[in-house]
């Protein structure tokens, strides 16, 4: 897994989604309409996978 820390997670998720990236939703977490969930300890996180099944995360502190 690789993680990128970003300032504007909504903008990045929107950009990736407009390029057909699908965000992973895990049953144990509540996700918003974009697939972003609250991160333990604060902040927000979204996960997606590449065509080889590698998992990536975007995280933001706010």
List, for residues 24-45, the tens digit of each pLDDT value: 999 999 999 999 999 988 999 9
In this predicted structure, the answer to whether residue 62 has a pLDDT above a threshold of 80 is no
How many angstroms separate the CA atoms of 9 and 60, rounded?
Answer: 6
| CA dist 33 → 2, 14, 51, 56, 62 (Å) | 23, 11, 23, 19, 17
Looking at residue 26, what is its pLDDT?
A: 96
Q: Quick one: tokens of 24?
A: 């992973």
Looking at residue 11, what is its pLDDT?
A: 97
Task: Kindly list the domain boundaries of the chain, sorted by start residue.
Answer: 2-60
Looking at residue 14, what is its pLDDT?
A: 98
User: Which residues make Cβ contacts (< 8 Å) with residue 12, sequence separation at least 6?
Assistant: 6, 58
Query: Can you identify the CATH homologous superfamily of domain 2-60?
Result: 2,3-Dihydroxybiphenyl 1,2-Dioxygenase, domain 1 (3.10.180.10)
Are 62 and 5 within 8 A, CB to CB? Answer: no
Report residue 58's pLDDT band, with 50, 70 and 90 as the boundaries. Answer: very high
């Amino acid at each position: 897994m690789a993680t990128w820390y970003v300032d504007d997670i909504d903008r990045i998720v929107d950009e990736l989604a407009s390029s057909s990236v699908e965000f992973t939703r895990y049953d144990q977490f509540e996700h918003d309409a974009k697939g972003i969930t609250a991160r333990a300890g604060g902040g927000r996180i979204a996960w997606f996978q590449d065509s080889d099944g590698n998992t990536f995360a975007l995280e933001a502190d706010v």
